[in-house]
């Protein structure tokens, strides 16, 4: 029997959700947030951003970014075969990571460890999407709609803002921040996994390193510098 177009799309969506990849079985711990921290994180999540169209101060910065994009696209081929999907994903990772003051290589390593680059991944603890965000974050600092954690840019933004928050709470200690992100603070297995995965995505510009593009870099300054945790 042929389904109507809308019916077919719904069936495909349900099948995708029914066949989601089970991701790394970690669980971020829901902790009380100070009102000032919640307000700052909510603002960082809610701030509107169109699909990233980056701006650069000069042609050298743009060329450096394009060389990074080409190199990362080649490395990502075995995980994402469709070229346009890879480019859109990498553009968004670049934008959101630099907006949050994180290295793109670290965020790519996090995604690799958390979901294996599967958009609809769900862990046994219920964490969702590329960066495996727990649904309670949608309630605490989002609009309450946990289903939106499967939207690529929404998920990457949540993941980057949450990791930035944990880094600030841990006073820049990446090992402890990654453990907190996974719900295994103080244990080595998960941080070692992410840091090992990061090596696959490290990129050294062959020429003198250019300064960061003005769009994401300036937006990163709008995140809370070091929010207090209570």
Least confident of 33-42, 123-132, 170-179, 203-212: 203-212
Condensed to tens digits (0 to 9), the pLDDT of residues 64-108 reads 999 999 999 999 999 999 999 999 999 999 999 999 999 999 999
As a whole number, mean pLDDT of residues 133-156 equals 93
Give whichever of 7-21, 30-44, 161-175, 209-223 has the largest mean pLDDT: 161-175
pTM: 0.78
Q: What is the pLDDT of residues 162-214, one digit of tens each?
A: 999 999 999 999 999 999 999 989 899 999 999 999 999 999 887 555 444 44
Domains of the chain: 5-220 (1.10.530)
| Spatial contact of 111 and 131, defined as CB atoms under 8 Å apart | yes
Q: Tell me phi and psi for residue 128, to 5 degrees.
A: -125, 145
């Amino acid at each position: 029997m042929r389904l109507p177009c809308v019916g077919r799309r719904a069936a495909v969506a349900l099948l995708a959700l029914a066949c989601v990849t089970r991701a790394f079985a970690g669980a971020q711990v829901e902790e009380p947030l100070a009102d000032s921290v919640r307000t700052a994180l909510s603002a960082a999540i809610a701030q509107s951003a169109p699909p990233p169209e980056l701006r650069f101060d000069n042609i050298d910065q743009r060329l450096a970014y394009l060389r990074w994009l080409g190199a990362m696209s080649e490395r990502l081929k075995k995980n994402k075969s469709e070229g346009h999907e890879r480019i859109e994903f990498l553009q968004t990772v670049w934008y959101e990571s630099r907006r949050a003051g994180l290295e793109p290589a670290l965020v790519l390593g996090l995604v690799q460890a958390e979901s294996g680059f599967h958009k609809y991944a769900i862990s046994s603890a219920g964490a969702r999407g590329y960066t495996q965000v727990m649904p309670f974050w949608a309630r605490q600092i989002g609009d309450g709609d946990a289903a939106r954690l499967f939207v690529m840019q929404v998920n990457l933004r949540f993941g980057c803002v949450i990791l930035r928050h944990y880094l600030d709470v841990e006073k820049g200690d990446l090992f402890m921040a990654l453990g907190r992100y996974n719900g295994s603070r103080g244990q080595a297995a998960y941080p070692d996994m992410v840091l090992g995965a990061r090596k696959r995505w490290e990129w050294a510009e062959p020429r003198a390193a250019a300064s960061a593009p003005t769009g994401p870099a300036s937006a990163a300054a709008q995140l809370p510098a070091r929010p207090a945790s209570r």
